[in-house]
Amino acid sequence: MSRTRRSFTTEYKVEAAHRVIDSGRTIAEVARELGINEALLGRWVADERRRIEAAAASGDQPLTTAERTELARLRRQVSEQEKDIAFLKKASAYFAANQQK
């Protein structure tokens, strides 16, 4: 049987990488905890470390854990609001069409 390929959001990858970077735990431990391949998590950690170094070199400060959490919460909130707006537009069109009949 073929297995479906899982895809991960950028936020998930960054958060998983920071579980290794911030806590000092091994990649293997965190990979087991998350149920993902060690090599995959290792790639995410390396990418995040490069991104942090590049940000530091350009004078930018990387986001703190609290800032990353807040950013993820705000992105979820925006996503929910976009869904609500789309639903309300459809409902408005539906009721406008039924009112004319």
Which residues touch 54 (CB under 8 Å, ≥6 apart)?
none
3-state helix, strand, coil in the chain (%, to 5): 75, 0, 25
Q: What is the pTM of this model?
A: 0.62
| 15-69 per-position pLDDT tens digit | 999 999 988 899 999 999 999 999 999 999 999 999 888 887 877 777 787 888 8
CA neighbor of 69 nearest in space, from 22, 30, 7: 22
| 46-60 per-position pLDDT tens digit | 999 998 888 878 777
Backbone dihedral region of 21: left (phi > 0), alpha (psi from -120 to 50 degrees) or beta? alpha
Euclidean distance between CA atoms 101 and 92, whole angstroms: 15
